Amino acid sequence: MKHAAARNVIERCFGLLKMRWGILRSPSFYPIRIHNRIIIACCLLHNFIRREMSFDPIEMDLGEYVETNIAVDEDFISTIDPTDVWGNFRMELANQMFNEWQASRQNDD
């Protein structure tokens, strides 16, 4: 049941971001690096708006939509166990790039 609650929260977050930022509503044809930056920028601006505005009409609209259209589970996630998956991926990628760089330097000599 916790997975269902987490999914509801995540879907609500993405729904709110899509309501606020039109660029997230349609498929993106930008390179993945730019697309990642767009998503991060939208999240940062969203957090800034939440911090600075006492009343957010878009969030209120989404709340009404969720209450009428989605059954929200009462369970919630209190902790998230960290994993090393992304850290390992990043380290492997960095090592691979370094090895390729070293190989290209040796070929130049």
Residue pLDDT tens, the chain, 109 long: 567 778 888 888 888 888 888 898 888 888 888 989 999 999 999 888 888 887 777 777 766 545 544 444 455 556 667 778 888 888 999 999 999 999 988 887 6
The pTM of the full predicted model, rounded to 2 decimals, is 0.49
Range of the domain at 26: 2-82
**Is residue 37 included in any domain, yes or no?**
yes
Query: Is 52 domain-assigned?
Result: yes
* Residues found in the chain: 109
Q: Determine, yes or no, domain membership for 73.
A: yes
pLDDT at 93: 92
Judge contact between 100 and 30, C-beta under 8 A: no
Tell whether 98 is covered by a domain: no
14 inside domain: yes
Rounded Cα distance between 8 and 14, Å, is 10
38 occurs within a structural domain:
yes
* Per-residue pLDDT at 94: 93
Is the C-alpha dihedral spanning 22, 36, 8, 74 positive or negative?
Answer: negative
Say if residues 58 and 19 touch (Cβ distance below 8 Å).
yes
> According to the model, what pLDDT value does residue 3 have?
75
Give 75's contacts (C-beta < 8 A, 6+ positions apart). 1, 2, 4, 5
31 domain-assigned: yes
User: Is residue 95 assigned to a domain?
Assistant: no
Q: How many domains does the chain have?
A: 1
- Rounded to whole angstroms, the Cα distance separating 106 from 109 reads 5
